[in-house]
Amino acid sequence: MNLANKLTLVRIFLIPVFMVFLLVKFFPYGGKFIAAGVFTLAALTDGLDGYIARKNNQVTRVGKFLDPLADKLLISAALISLVGLGKLHAGIAFIIIAREFIITGLRVMVAGERKILVASKLGKAKTIFQIVAVLYIIIISDLENLSAILPPLSDFLQKFPYLYLNWFLLFLAVLFTVWSGVDYMYKNKWVFKMGKE
């Protein structure tokens, strides 16, 4: 197994570590910062494994399968965890996860025709906005906890419109999630016409 695929596996193995630090209260304050750090590390391996695979000409079928799978597992784990913590509306998580299931199904259909569903720029933008939104929610939720013992932080949060920024980032994440999903299906609509021929 090449280095790029090993990095993808590292991202998958980091998912339960991230969830443990996010959901289990090891520390009264600051525990979610560790979860945010693990999530960031896992997200960074996404761009790194693709770069290494292309640079070293090590793009493999296994990598093309594992890489998007790892992305979907990471984002789904984060969204479900945030819903469980009461930090994210279940409807938003459903829209994003449903899109991932639909595109995964499309990817399988395309692969059945011995073709590859290549990640688009919209798909990559979607991933970035999802990661930023998740990180922001995690960090803000820990800052809210810390504000209980740090009056200056409490004053800052009262003045800073962090909830509006939260909804704006989620709006962008959902927008690009739906947009990229529709774009993938439109560009690969030939798959849906096959059964009619």
Instruction: Report the length, in residues, of the chain.
Output: 197
In a domain, 162, yes or no: yes
What CATH number has the domain bearing residue 19?
1.20.120.1760
- Written as six digits, the tokens of 54 are 């292309």
129-157 pLDDT, tens digit per residue, is 999 999 999 988 777 766 665 666 667 66
Predicted TM-score (pTM) of the model is: 0.84
Work out the percent of the chain whose per-residue pLDDT is above 90.
Answer: 35
What domain count does the chain have? 1
In a domain, 194, yes or no: no
Whether residue 125 contacts residue 180, with contact meaning beta carbons closer than 8 Å, is answered with yes
Alpha carbons 107 and 46: distance in angstroms, whole number: 18
- Written as six digits, the tokens of 84 are 């469980």
In a domain, 108, yes or no: yes
163-191 pLDDT, tens digit per residue, is 788 899 999 999 999 999 999 888 888 77
Cα atoms found within 13 Å of the Cα of residue 86, Cβ hemisphere only: 0
27-60 pLDDT, tens digit per residue, is 666 678 889 999 999 988 877 777 777 777 767 7
Alpha carbons 133 and 158: distance in angstroms, whole number: 20
